[in-house]
Amino acid sequence: PDANIENISKYSEPSLESTSHELWDFFRSIIGSKPSANKFLLKKSLNKLKKYIRGGQKIFAFKADVTSQREVFVFVKKIIKKFNKIDILINNAGILGPKGKMEELNWKQWIRTTEINLFGSVLMCRAVLPHFKKAKKGKIIQISGGGATNPTPMFSGYSASKAAIVRFVETL
């Protein structure tokens, strides 16, 4: 699995209800897709979202590996350079990881699942929090998925990492 995801740096919608399905479809179309498909899916999804842009609103996309501290901090710097601020972080990185009995799973894949699902979200928070504190405002929306609240047999890496990210966000 690849940790590369497409992140949207700024999105303002006229009505959350009218765009929530469109926004969710956008994230679903990109997260978990193969890296070769990401560019195509991003462009297609961005074109769909453009119909919701009002006034001077803009959408900016940049590919970053959420498990790379360097890439995450470069990503946030690019947002700040382009918009002079950052208002919101929608943390939605996640993979299911290996499926099977815990004692039979590929350990490297299990660790990779935790790196993406937990550490990726933590790194994104670390990168934006100083900007939010300086501005005295900012929002973090953490998408945890069903693994945080319901048992997902045979997906222990997913469940453990998603439950952990919920506990982490509660500490912020």
Q: Which residues are catalytic?
A: 158
Crossing angle of helices 35-49 and 16-30, in 10° steps, is 160
User: Which pair of tokens denotes residue 97?
Assistant: 């990881």
Crossing angle of helices 120-135 and 69-83, in 10° steps, is 30
Q: CB-side exposure of 95: number of CA atoms within 13 Å? A: 23
Task: Report DSSP letters for 63-108, one per residue.
Answer: EEETT-HHHHHHHHHHHHHHHS---EEEE--------S-GGGS-HH
